[in-house]
Amino acid sequence: MKRTFAALSVLSVAFAITVAAFGQTPLATQPRPGHLTRQQLNTLIATAKTPAEHERIARFYEAQAQDYRAQEQEHKAMVAAYKANSTLSTDKTHASTISHCVHFAQSFQALADNSQELATLHQRMAEEAPVRSAPTGK
């Protein structure tokens, strides 16, 4: 009975994690206010020339890095929760679940680092981009 309860607990948590991870709406179909869709981002990357355009790309990547860091923290919290649950400590699934969460925490950390690096690069491009002046009409 104890083993069945432990297995059901693990499966319930795994199901909740799966729904949370895959139930999110993709960026391209429902952007947050003020954010870019993937198509808008790709177009902007291909055509960016002004400081404002590069700053907009940098803000996109900074927001993305923040989102990835939040997901990293969620997975780290799950690792701690699994380790704290003594009823699961003898179950083989327990170690597998912990390694799953550790893997995703590390993956989201790498994604956040890469996104922050892209934000920094575009911020530099914004600083180096020539400022366009308005036509004088002469």
Q: Cα separation of 128 and 26, whole Å?
A: 33
Q: Cα separation of 69 and 62, whole Å?
A: 11
Whether 45 maps to a domain, the answer reads yes
Map residue 67 onto helix, strand or coil. Answer: helix
pLDDT at 10: 44
Whether 132 maps to a domain, the answer reads no
10-residue mean pLDDT series, the chain (138 residues): 45 44 46 75 94 94 96 95 77 80 96 96 91 59
**Would you say how long the chain is, in residues?**
138
Whether 3 maps to a domain, the answer reads no
pTM (two decimals): 0.68
Closest residue by Cα to residue 109 from 57, 74, 58 = 74
Parent domain of 51: 34-127
Whether 77 maps to a domain, the answer reads yes
pLDDT at 64: 94
Using only C-alpha atoms, what is the Rg of the chain? 22
